Amino acid sequence: MVSTDAVTTAGDDTRSAWNRMRHWAIAHAVDDFYQGLVPASIPFFVLERDYSYVAASGLALAATLGSALPQPILGVVADRWRLPWLAPAGVAVAGIGAGASGLAPSYPLVWILLLLSGLGVAAFHPAAGRDARRAAGASAGAMSWFAAGGSVGFFLAPALATPALDAFGVGATALFLPPAVLMGFVLWRHQQRTSRHHATASTAAGPDRWLPFAILTLVEVIRSTVFIGVNTFIVLYWINHLGASRTLGGAALTAFLVGGVAGTLSGGRLADRIGLVRTIQIGGLAVVPALIAVRVTPDPVWALALAALAGFTANIPFAVLVKLGQDYLPSRPGTAAGVTLGLAVSAGGLFAPILGAIADAHGPQAALTTLCVLPVAAVALAVFLPEPASA
């Protein structure tokens, strides 16, 4: 027996997929905007309030602790109880915490507000992932709209926040309070309209497959490490190794992130055609030559297109990993989303200090070289992933 929502077929066109997923894609963009707002605002706390680098890293840690560690627990909660208010409340709290942080007069209060913002992010992802999966049905392409929304939000945060903070000071974080409150209200209304349908829909059948899910989680950690690593060091590589300007370095990061959004959407559509596991394997293989091309191309202008290609290939598996994780745990979609969207993605950032040590010793080009070979481990692990029907 399958979910009544699973009547959606892989052949649905992009417009129908967007119509089903638009609330969740936009909500995910708004929610992850506040994840991006934290690193965008931290330099301004340092400049305006004379926070030390240790204090600045403590603010980043507060947001990470709040967003990463509770997500699997909240995923269990979302699977056990319906709680239609959890995702709307999560996005509202994420924005209120991050938005109010610039108005807080003391460091401890800023730290608490950023921790609160992280907890809001943690509350959103498992519940939203569960309900977005229900709306997407059997289509990985539809689910990719949800995943891509988060990438768009994270990308827009520095683009929108940095000019505002530069012009008005760190207190300008308050300008970004209204979108969170508004999106929380819109999403709550959407949940009320669809709650009757959700209450009558049957859940997916089949046993939970924990071993494939554990392997998939490791694959996602590696993918996240590559994506976050390139995101961290690409600007420094452009400036320090290729001799480019700061503007061109920023353009390289933009190209990489825009390519990532396109890769997320394309990966979902590809999975509907050739299968989930094969798409993950193709993405893992394709990112290796793309990164090598970035690493060996000496011209920083020509390399911009290759940076976009690297972002594209690195994110081909992203939405597919989220959907496949929920296929492996059909009775626990919230738990699966909490791990693949939350814990595993954040865990990739834990390896950034190792890459930083490599960069300190041998330059950012050495960190990029390391990232060129890391996806091979993901491909090797993906060999052991079964397609859902045979899991």
Q: How many helices (H) and strands (E) does the chain have?
A: 17, 0
Radius of gyration of the chain (CA): 20
| Out of 55-69, 263-277, 375-389, least confident range | 55-69
Per-residue pLDDT at 282 exceeds 70: yes
Q: Are 45 and 54 in contact (CB under 8 A)?
A: no
**Which run of H or of E encompasses 310?**
helix 302-315
Q: How confident is the model at residue 31 (pLDDT cuts 50, 70, 90)?
A: very high
- Average pLDDT for 366-384: 92
Express each pLDDT in 241-280 by its tens digit: 888 887 888 788 888 988 988 998 898 889 888 989 999 9
Would you place residue 11 in the very low, low, confident or very high pLDDT band (cuts 50, 70, 90)? very low
User: What pLDDT sits at residue 197?
Assistant: 57
From residue 31, alpha-carbon distances to 95, 145, 179, 223, 388 in Å are 7, 14, 9, 21, 29
Determine the pLDDT at residue 183: 94
Q: How confident is the model at residue 99 (pLDDT cuts 50, 70, 90)?
A: very high
Give pLDDT, residue 84: 85
Give which of 283, 345, 351, 339 is closest to 311, Cα–Cα: 283
Amino acid at 238: W
Q: Which residue has the higher pLDDT, 99 or 333?
A: 99
Nearest Cα residue to 150 out of 256, 260, 282: 260
In degrees and rounded to multiples of 5, residue 2 shows phi and psi of -115, 165
**Contact, 258 vs 308, CB < 8 A?**
yes
Q: What is the DSSP letter of 119?
A: H
Judged by average pLDDT, the poorest of 104-108, 221-225, 250-254, 342-346 is: 342-346
Dihedral pair phi/psi, residue 316, rounded to 5°: -55, -40
pLDDT digits (tens, 9 = 90+) for 110-140: 999 999 998 998 888 888 888 888 887 777 8
Average of per-residue pLDDT values in the chain:
83
Q: Are 161 and 173 in contact, with CB atoms under 8 Å apart?
A: yes
Q: Which pLDDT score is estimated for 205? A: 58
Q: Give pTM, 2 decimals.
A: 0.78
Residue 25 pLDDT > 60: yes
Beta strands in the chain (DSSP E): none
* Each residue's pLDDT tens digit, 175-231: 999 999 999 999 998 888 876 555 444 445 578 889 999 999 999 889 988 888 888
Highest mean pLDDT among 11-20, 197-206, 299-308: 299-308
Grade residue 385 by pLDDT with cuts at 50, 70 and 90.
Answer: very high
Across 151-177, b (16+ Cβ under 10 Å) vs e yields: bbbbbbbbebbeebbeeeebebbbebb
Band of pLDDT at residue 348, cut at 50, 70 and 90? low
SS3 category, 83 = coil
DSSP category for residue 340: I
Report the 10 Å Cβ neighbour count for 360.
Answer: 11
Specify the pLDDT at position 377.
Answer: 93
* Burial 61-78, CB ≥16 within 10 A → b, else e: ebbbbbbbebbbebbebb
Separation between Cα atoms, residue 230 and residue 286, nearest integer Å: 15
Taking alpha carbons only, the member of 133, 37, 148, 39 closest to residue 94 is: 37
Mean predicted confidence (pLDDT) in 307-326: 90
User: What is the pLDDT, as a whole number, of residue 331?
Assistant: 82
Q: What is the mean pLDDT of residues 367-377?
A: 91
